């Protein structure tokens, strides 16, 4: 899978923030850059710990706010993977998440072209899906190798 292009994503960031009528603050940009740096689905606390050294004035509350704003703008996806805190994903391509139940690693798994997830379930009449999260759980290749 090809890694996201950080420069292109920063451009998208500027456009999305502007479209949302928001200011391009240093804090927002810094938090977004931290998310792009290592796309391993960090929690808000992880993001805070990574972002703090580059911006001493940053607080955890601000990081939460910024992450919510970025999610509202569609730049970041808030992901719920079973138990534990929400995680944040800067990959805006359509994808699901594979969580290794042994090491806890979270991997982006792209949707197959043409796959229509909406058609996998029978919705009651009058219901509309507005968003979806695909979470797969299992054992990653490295952990499986170690098991054998
Ligand atoms: Zn993801
Ligand atoms: Zn694993």
3-state secondary structure 5-72: CHHHHHHHHHHHHHHCCCCCCHHHHHHHHHHHHCCCCCEHHHHHHHHHHHCCCCCHHHHHHHHHHHHH
Is 2 a residue whose pLDDT tops 50?
no
Q: Is-contact 112 105, C-beta < 8 A?
A: no
Distance 97 CA to ligand 2 centre (A): 13
* Boundary residue ending a domain (52, 73, 89): 89
Answer yes or no: is 1 within a domain.
no
Question: Model's pTM, two decimal places?
Answer: 0.79
Mean pLDDT of 102-116: 87
Quick one: pLDDT at residue 1? 38
Give strand pairing partners of 109: 96
pLDDT digits (tens, 9 = 90+) for 40-80: 999 999 999 999 999 999 999 999 999 999 998 888 999 98
Distance 62 CA to ligand 1 centre (A): 22
**Residue 48's CATH number:** 1.10.10.10
Q: Say which residues have a Cβ less than 8 Å from residue 63's Cβ, sequence separation at least 6.
A: 31, 44, 47, 48, 51
Of the candidate ranges 1-5, 44-48, 80-84, 142-146, the one whose mean pLDDT is the lowest: 1-5
Task: State how far the Cα of 23 lies from the Cα of 143, in Å rounded to an integer.
Answer: 44
Distance 91 CA to ligand 2 centre (A): 21
Q: Which ligand is nearest to the CA of 87?
A: 1
Quick one: pLDDT at residue 141? 96
Instruction: Print the domain residue range for 115.
Output: 95-147
Distance 67 CA to ligand 1 centre (A): 15
- Count how many domains the chain has: 2
């Amino acid at each position: 899978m090809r890694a996201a292009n950080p420069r292109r994503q920063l451009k998208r960031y500027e456009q999305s923030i502007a479209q949302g009528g928001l200011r391009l603050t240093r804090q927002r940009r810094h938090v977004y850059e931290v998310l792009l740096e290592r796309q391993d689905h960090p929690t808000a606390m992880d993001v805070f710990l990574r972002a703090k050294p580059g911006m001493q004035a940053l607080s955890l509350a601000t990081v939460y706010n910024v992450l919510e704003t970025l999610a509202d703008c569609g730049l970041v996806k808030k992901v719920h993977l079973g138990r534990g805190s929400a995680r944040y994903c800067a990959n805006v391509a359509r994808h699901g998440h594979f969580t290794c139940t042994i090491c806890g690693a979270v991997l982006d798994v792209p949707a197959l072209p043409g796959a229509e997830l909406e058609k996998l379930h029978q919705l009651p009449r009058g219901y509309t899906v507005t968003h979806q999260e695909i979470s797969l759980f299992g054992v990653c290749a490295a952990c499986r190798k170690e098991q054998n």
